Amino acid sequence: MDDGGWRPVKRTRTFEDVLAQIERRIAEDGLTAGDRLPAERQLAEQLGVSRSSVREAMRVLESLGVVSSQVGRGPDAGAVLTSRPDTALTDLLRLHLGMAGLELREVIDARHMIEQWAASHAASAGAGTAALAAAVSGMDGARTAEEFVEHDTAFHCAIADASGNRLIAAIMRSLRDSMRRYAVEAVEHLGDTAILRAGHVRILRAIEAGDADEAARAVSEHLAHAYPSLFDH
Amino acid sequence: MDDGGWRPVKRTRTFEDVLAQIERRIAEDGLTAGDRLPAERQLAEQLGVSRSSVREAMRVLESLGVVSSQVGRGPDAGAVLTSRPDTALTDLLRLHLGMAGLELREVIDARHMIEQWAASHAASAGAGTAALAAAVSGMDGARTAEEFVEHDTAFHCAIADASGNRLIAAIMRSLRDSMRRYAVEAVEHLGDTAILRAGHVRILRAIEAGDADEAARAVSEHLAHAYPSLFDH
DNA sequence: ACCACAGTATGGTCAGACCATATCGAACCA
DNA sequence: TGGTTCGATATGGTCTGACCATACTGTGGT
């Protein structure tokens, strides 16, 4: 097993080099969302690589929610830096769930963790209750499970937003998006949404009152009602 | 604002179509990690698109930690399905942190949330304490801040692993990786690592004893010591 | 049984072309 | 002066075809 001091030649693919240089430029020049990257052809010439390699790097950046490409001409055309971690996270979770690389139970546990945290922090912050109330009344008017889940998602994402942490809010949104299908099933299986709606009201009241502990408790019991089969441990 | 019933023509880029079809195949055929995708040239011919478009789709899948491409010939060559959400998450966080699309504070708060959750669940599960003990003794032998952080990361990731939730463990690993630079700075700024080591021992003891509440408390106080400037709220 | 070597399938890269789109700008008309 | 039209241009999107490096496969010779 001795390699005699030799180590494998680092095989760096061209597009990875391009990625690294773009990332370096972002850090050194302090680029942020809204700034433009050079055009593909120009970047290819400057870096001495083919346009294909630049494009593959762009696809990676785009899939990670860092750039957005616009065709045409003008100030808004070309590769523009964005900050969309949530769409990237959603794709990531959906793909890994589809491949059975992750189990639904793990996603729901993560959601449980985040919602408890977000609810107690939202209660401490005491902001954003208007969006919560709107989502609650939206659920009252829902006629189908899909509609209900739609507003339910809005409610729970509003809690995460109210916590003030964009990363955690992005994770929350991605978890909800990738679980949408299962959430609809769960609501249909439950039949009656009265218990869920009561849980939402309780959470809302706790956040409005600024009671962090009560908010966390309310979230925990709410999720236990929504997914009874997954809380038998 | 009435569009007269017209709606913009859906502009779907070719590689997005390829992505969708690959994802569908993964779901319908029940493909999982280890399975192979068709070769790029074959896929291009079957789908009636150019190899470039297939390659761009591959880059996306690779950046999301879903496939891994190997050159050469044989059973292991080609595009193989993998399940590496953590590397994808690491890249995602690093890029968004570099772009100032996320702030360090948000990452550390997320880490705080996850560690508390993971520690209390690891205590309940009561497994994996061997890896924890190994990391603790590794830190005792560390001579530089980098070495210390290395083992510190191993310790905290081992907690997440012991929780049994791969998604949360992957997020934990990504948070640590993307924070590595700041963690080293924090340790150097602290000067003495005795308090941190004591915190680790306390966490380890709590997990060994199966005391979930004490584990969560120990983690919380440990992080407060490690990043004092960020816990003044 | 072993080994050397040609064959071949794979991803990686490049060059060049063409298309679709969106803006810019100048010429033209009112 | 003001507006409109239409060509020029810059941009990403796609395709084709070629070549390279890599790593297995199989064949043939020893």
A101, amino acid identity: G
Checking each nucleotide's C1' against the CA of B48, the nearest proves to be D15
Q: How far is A80 from chain B (nearest CA, A)?
A: 12
Contact call for A85 and B102, based on CB within 8 A:
yes
Residue B29 has pLDDT above 90, yes or no: yes
Phi, psi dihedral angles at A78 (to 5 degrees): 90, -165
Q: Please judge whether B109 and A165 are an interchain contact, meaning their C-beta atoms are less than 8 angstroms apart.
A: yes
State residue A36 phi and psi, 5-degree precision: -100, 145
Quote the CA–CA distance of B174 and B170 in Å, as a whole number.
6
β-strands A67-70, A78-81: how paired? antiparallel
Q: Are A92 and B106 a contacting pair at CB < 8 A?
A: no
Residue B78 forms contact with A (CB below 8 Å): no
Report the 10 Å Cβ neighbour count for B101: 21
Q: What is the largest CA-CA distance in chain A?
A: 72
CA angle A40, A46, A49 (to 5 degrees): 70
A130 CA, D19 C1': Å apart? 62
What are the pLDDT digits (tens) for B197-213? Answer: 999 999 999 999 999 99
Q: Which of A43, A66, A39, A65 is nearest to A174 (CA)?
A: A65
Q: Residue A9 pLDDT > 60, yes or no?
A: no
Q: CA(A4)–C1'(C8) in Å? A: 32
**H or E segment at A68?**
strand A67-70
Asked if A104 and A180 touch (Cβ cutoff 8 Å), the reply is no
Q: Which of residues 92-111 of B touch A (CB under 8 A)?
A: 92-96, 98-102, 106-107, 109-110
Count Cβ atoms below 10 Å from residue B93 Cβ, excluding itself: 24
A107/B167 touch (CB, cutoff 8 Å), yes or no: yes
Which residue's alpha carbon is at the shortest distance from the C1' of C21? A72
d(CA B3, CA A107): 40
pLDDT digits 0-9 by tens, A55-97 = 999 999 999 999 999 999 988 899 999 999 999 999 999 999 8
Q: What is the pTM of this model?
A: 0.89
